[in-house]
Chain A
Amino acid sequence: MKPAAFTYHRPGSVAGAVGLLRDLGDDAKLIAGGQSLVAMMNFRLARPEHLIDIRRVPGLDQIRRDGDSLRIGALVTHHAVEIASLGAEFAVLSRAMRWVGHLPIRTRGTIGGSLAHADATAEWCLLAVLLDAVIVAEGPAGRRSVAAADFFHGVFTTALEPDELIVEVVFPRPAPRAALTEFAERRGDFAIVAAAVDLDLPRIVLGGVATVPFVAPVSGIGRPGDQYHSRLAEEAAAAVRVRDEPGVSAHYRRGLVRTLVTRACAEAEEIR
């Protein structure tokens, strides 16, 4: 389990990274925290000929409030978000981080890397869609913003062009009544099902039920309480289109959706 050979690049700026991406084309891959990529390279499931290390690129590791919104630089680690004081408006982000792998993964893995990797059960992907995040990417033509709802295209594929990199993620509105919860057999594993809810919209985003974060269509706001939550849970469970898979039947996965949505609602309610 040793990676194939590659050439290592360490650009000093976003423009430098973009230039390398443009010049090297499909043979190049960005690395920030590398917590998914290096494992895949060790298995030789990924074998880029050029690795562009952007972890030291300055200016991408800040978390800052900007009016109502929260701006998180692409290189901010999961752990930095976990321990940041984001106030009640964005505390959901810090709380959700405890579901991301384990501490030594969170100290290296980044929000930008997680979104670009686009695993449909990844916490950042669900949170981005849940909270209407805007993903700011930079390419040869400059910066552009992509709504999270438009960002995820399929298994490990996104709206990013091959010569673009994520520089920042903007969470445009406070979400004081939001929560994320998951179920896996073992702590730190990728979820079988993950559920993220924002009760103020309301919106439910599910992981583990589709190739991209799945926004479950739910009817309008109700009054807080168990029945409201279980109605949301029933609607979400009814909406998912899943098939039987080895070890996890569609029936069970739908049941997990029901349970986790209910519990995420309860957590979101409790927080307030």
Chain B
Amino acid sequence: MSATREPGFRRDGSWVGASVPRREDPRLLAGRGRFVDDITLPGLLHAQFVRASVAHARITGIDLAEVRATPGVVAAYTADDLDLGDITAVLDRPPHEFVPTAMPVLARDKVRYVGEPIAIVVARDPYAVEDGVEAAIVEYDELAPVMSDTAALAPGAVLVHAEAPANTLVDVSLFATDGIDEVFAQAERTGAVVRVQAKTGRQNALPLETRGVVADWDDRDEQLRVQTCTQIPHQVRTVLSRCLGLDERQVRVTVPDMGGGFGQKCVVGREEIAAAAAAFTLRRPVKWIEDRRDALTAAFLAREQRYDARAAFDADGAILALDVDLVCDMGAYSCYPFTAGIEPLMASAEMPGVYRLPAYRVRGRAVTTNKAPTGPYRGVSRPQCVMVMERLMEKAAKALEMDAVELRRRNVITVFPYRGVNNITYDPGSYLESLDLCEQVLRDEGWYKVRSDNHESPDRVIGIGYSCFSERTGYGSGAFAARKMSVVPGFDISEIRMDTSGTVVVTSGTMSHGQSHETTMAQIVADRLGLDINQVKIVQGDTDRITYGFGSFASRSITIGGSAVAAASVRLGEQLREIAAHLLDTDLDNTELDGDGGVRLRDTPDRGMTFAALADVAYLQAHLLPKGVGPGLSATASFDVMGDGTFSNATHGVVVELDRGTGGVEILRYVCVEDCGVAIHPRVVEGQCRGGIAQGIAGALFEQVNYDETGQPLCPSFMEYKVPTAAEIPDVAIHHLETPCAFTESGAKGAGEGGTIGAPAAVLNAVNNALRGTGVELDNTPIRRESVYRALEGTYLD
């Protein structure tokens, strides 16, 4: 099958840059993918959890007698029965900056959120196991629940963790420019100081496939074989071996097809450890599939943050200083491996964004509450940082009576590399160009005229809003070490092997969960070796086949993983040339890859050997190999980024229509001008943009995890947790700019998160633009329809 190549977008003749048919598609379309719940094993048992029914309590008794007597139930275990080590994520920071807290696999003496696992029940079928779970009796001595960041920080608040005073897990002040207060004082007199106080709703990353695992012990391999849908297979292996007291070689983690992750599957889950432990204890295969109610109430959540931000501007609109106090409600536990620092540390570092900011002060805190714990979610804090910065820009423009786009133009970084006040070096991007183009597109499409034509409409008002932002991708060891994580993710290792057919299998420590790595990484390898992509098989998600890896998150896969597979491919190419030079009796310098699965001579291009012929020698005729060249064809390479990573960037432009009669918000137009360097597969990049934007819109307008005052979650179903549908998400027009990265192998930058990062700010700005003249500004997300209604009606109450 020859792949079709889209003409025009990038150079001809290479796989990189072509939107080839995805390698993943045929099986997924035919219903022949293999997701974790599709796996069955002889004698498979099914697990579910007895979970906390109250938010904060000491456990005074657990009675599982009725559970064990339930027909079909095979076993039921509490924390005491399994005796597992805790999951503890650590930052190497002093106690006043970080308090480590242990997350037991099953709750022992205390529960800290509704849905916390207390006991695991194992039964012969997935129906009987729920009968068993229902029969459990847990007695509690209830404690007052801590249900908000303000309650957590209030003097005398009940403590969620005894070891964390003031319920504070992280309290860092990473930057404080000398003299910043004087800058604000001066700006008050001669320019403008604007302030944003914003709160963002708790969200669920919500992969459509919930979490799940199938585990069994294999005597012959002396291994606990764990098939789990995780973004970080090696970290799951590490934690499993430590919790169970096994050597790492005794645990094999493999990952089947994954139905999304978006960060929620980027942390080690208590349930996957418990289910594996039950399989180990019983020496029988055990499956756990999270149901949707548990996924909505007890899985890792994200995004609930409160900002108090001030920015100083001079009279010409140049930003002078930024002062931010931010508090992240991290729920009941620190996630592994990132810790509760994930959101405040990200926000503190990335807040200045695309602007030339001379002075910066920030305090970032993570507080613990009696809600389900939080983990990473696509964009991690940057949707909020960008939203706050872009609101500050809008408010400054208003205060200075300037056009908000013009104000941004005066402030975006235009000279690269740029060393920021946040000690980060920004590599080249197209901040100004993307902003200009985005505004131009909306202007040319006539939206400014539509807005003014509808100015007097009794039913509807129209607003236009922008967000201009960058996204740090390709976080290497350097960037994560700066966070002082005890686990420093960063590098990636790739191994490539060629078989006697002349085709290759390439491993990557990244873990695709929808990002198309089987296709895009194959494109990179195919270009490096001159193979057809169908002769390249990418292998991910197997701890026995891949030396070590950190999985897929933080838009790192193509930048770091893609660079590693490229480097390994280049090494294999050198080996092939060396063997060919020997067999064809010429100098190494006189050989080159022929771009069609072989090696040829530079001086006589019609002479050469196919890879299959060379591989035949390497394996089956090894006596013909040159001296010093061992048998076989394989190469290993690693890649890391020791600097600050590479920045993708984009500008989003949004047109909204507000309905005066209902407060309804409709997005009429969405334009995204993005720059992720060299796009390996433009259509995949566009897919990442559109999907990311949909999730950003969801956060801006629809989704929020709510609790009542006793800590009961108020969204156990999709009736309450409002994931938007095709009726709410608009089409997105995408325009590409290309500023290649100088240090990744293909010039690519990450593209996974930008859509989600930029959307809330653009939507919020558009809504507020439509509300101009009402005197109301809405800075919290998700935007409530009643707030819009009241703002337009003139009855808005803060």
**Interface residues in chain A, defined as those with a beta carbon under 8 Å from any beta carbon in chain B:** 1-5, 43-44, 183, 185-190, 246-249, 251-252, 255-256, 258-260, 262-263
Partner pick for B664 among A1, A183, A190, A249, CB 8 A cutoff: A183
List residues of chain B with CB within 8 A of the CB of A246.
706
* Complex interface: chain A residues within 8 A of B469 (CB): none
**Contact pick for B728, options A183, A186, A258, CB 8 Å:** A186
A-B contact pairs, 27 of them (CB 8 A): A1-B130, A1-B291, A1-B292, A2-B126, A2-B130, A5-B131, A43-B716, A44-B134, A185-B664, A185-B722, A185-B785, A186-B722, A186-B727, A187-B728, A189-B719, A189-B722, A190-B719, A246-B706, A248-B786, A249-B786, A251-B795, A255-B793, A256-B661, A256-B662, A260-B661, A260-B662, A262-B661
Residues from chain A with a CB closer than 8 A to the CB of B710 are none
B452 at the interface (CB under 8 A from A): no
User: Which one of B292, B728, B784 lies within 8 Å of A247 (CB-CB)?
Assistant: B784
CA distance A2 to B702 in the complex (A): 28
- In contact, B786 and A252 (Cβ under 8 angstroms): yes
Inter-subunit contact A4/B728 (CB<8 Å)? no
- Indicate if B663 sits at the interface (CB-CB under 8 A): yes
Q: Whole-angstrom distance between the alpha carbons of A5 and B72 in the complex? A: 13
- The answer to whether A252 and B789 touch across the interface, beta carbons within 8 angstroms, is yes
Task: State the majority secondary structure of interface residues on B.
Answer: loop
Q: Cβ of A256: which chain B residues have Cβ within 8 Å of it?
A: 661-662
1/0 contact string of B699-736 vs chain A (CB within 8 Å): 00110001000000000110100101101100000000
Residues of B with C-beta under 8 A to A189: 719, 722
Contact A2 B661, beta carbon cutoff 8 Å:
no
- The A-contacting residues of B in range 670-726, CB under 8 angstroms, are 701-702, 706, 716-717, 719, 722, 724-725
Which A residues are CB-close (under 8 A) to B451?
none
Residue B293, interface by CB 8 Å: yes
CB contacts (< 8 Å) of B701 on chain A: these are 185
* Alpha-carbon distance A44/B130, docked complex (angstroms): 10
Return A116 CB to nearest CB of chain B, in Å. Answer: 20
A188 near B664 with CB under 8 A, answer no
Number of B positions contacting A (CB below 8 A): 30
Q: How distant is the Cα of A223 from the Cα of B606 in the complex, in angstroms?
A: 91
| A255–B785 CB distance below 8 A | no
CB distance from A51 to the nearest CB of B (A): 15
A115 CB to nearest chain B CB (Å): 21
Q: Is B790 on the interface with A (CB-CB < 8 A)?
A: yes
A252 touches B126 (CB 8 A): no
A3, A44, A252, A260: the one contacting B663 at CB < 8 Å is A252
Q: Give the chain A neighbours of B790 by CB distance below 8 A.
A: 251-252
- Other A-B pairs, 14, CB within 8 Å; known A43-B716, A44-B130, A251-B795: A1-B130, A2-B126, A2-B127, A4-B131, A5-B131, A185-B664, A185-B722, A186-B722, A186-B727, A186-B728, A246-B706, A248-B786, A255-B793, A259-B662
1/0 contact string of B771-787 vs chain A (CB within 8 Å)? 00000000000001110
Say whether B725 contacts A188, CB under 8 Å.
yes
Closest-CB distance, B705 to chain A (whole angstroms): 13
Name the residue of chain B whose CB is nearest to the CB of A262: B661
Q: How far is B519's CA from A181's CA once the two chains are assembled, in angstroms?
A: 46
Report the separation of the CA atoms of residues A43 and B717 in the bound assembly, to the nearest whole angstrom: 9
C-alpha spacing A44/B205, complex, angstroms? 26
Docked CA distance A134–B728 (Å) = 37
Rounded to whole Å, the gap between the CB of B123 and the closest CB of chain A is 11
One digit per residue, 1 when the CB lies within 8 angstroms of any chain A CB and 0 when it does not, for chain B 787-798 equals 001100101000
For B131, list chain A residues within 8 Å (CB): 4-5
Docked pose: A88 CA to B24 CA in angstroms = 50
Query: 10 closest pairs, A vs B, by CB?
Result: A259-B661, A187-B727, A1-B291, A252-B786, A2-B127, A2-B130, A183-B662, A186-B722, A187-B725, A259-B662
Closest B residue to A256 by CB, please name it: B662
> What's the least CB distance linking B210 to chain A, in Å?
10
Contact A255 B789 (CB under 8 A): yes
CB-CB nearest in chain A for B661: A259
Chain B 648-664 residues near chain A, CB threshold 8 A: 661-664
CB-CB contacts below 8 Å: B600-651 with A: none
Q: Which residue of the partner chain A has the closest CB to B129? A: A2
Measured between beta carbons, the chain B residues less than 8 angstroms from A187 are 725, 727-728
Instruction: Please report the C-alpha to C-alpha distance between residue A4 and residue B134 in the assembled complex, in whole angstroms.
Output: 10
Quick one: which of A2, A183, A190 has the most chain B CB within 10 A?
A: A2
Task: State which of B134, B661, B716, B795 has its C-beta within 8 Å of the C-beta of A263.
Answer: B661
Which residues from A are CB-within-8-Å of B663? 252
B293: A residues at CB distance < 8 A: 1, 43
Distance in Å: Cβ of B259 to nearest Cβ of chain A: 17
In whole angstroms, what is the CA distance A251 to B126 when docked? 46
- A1 to B785, alpha carbons, bound, how many Å? 32
Interface residues of B in 267-300 (CB under 8 A from A): 291-293
Q: How far is the CA of A252 from the CA of B390 in the complex (A)?
A: 29
CA distance A263 to B664 in the complex (A): 14
Inter-chain contacts of B727 with A (CB < 8 A): 186-188
* A248 to B292 CA separation, bound complex (whole angstroms): 26
Contacts of B719 in A (CB 8 A): 189-190
The residue of chain B having its C-beta at the shortest distance from the C-beta of A3 within the complex is B127
What is the bound-complex CA distance between A44 and B131, given in angstroms?
A: 10
Q: CB-CB < 8 A to B724: which residues of A?
A: 186
In the bound complex, residues from chain A placing their C-beta under 8 Å from that of B662 are 183, 256, 259-260
A21 to B657 CA separation, bound complex (whole angstroms): 52
Q: How far is the CA of A2 from the CA of B134 in the complex (A)?
A: 11
Alpha-carbon distance A127/B745, docked complex (angstroms): 64
Q: Considering only CB atoms, which chain A residue lies closest to B784 in the complex?
A: A247
Measured in the bound complex, the distance between the Cα atoms of B784 and A149 in whole Å is 35
In angstroms, Cα B704 to Cα A186, docked, is: 14
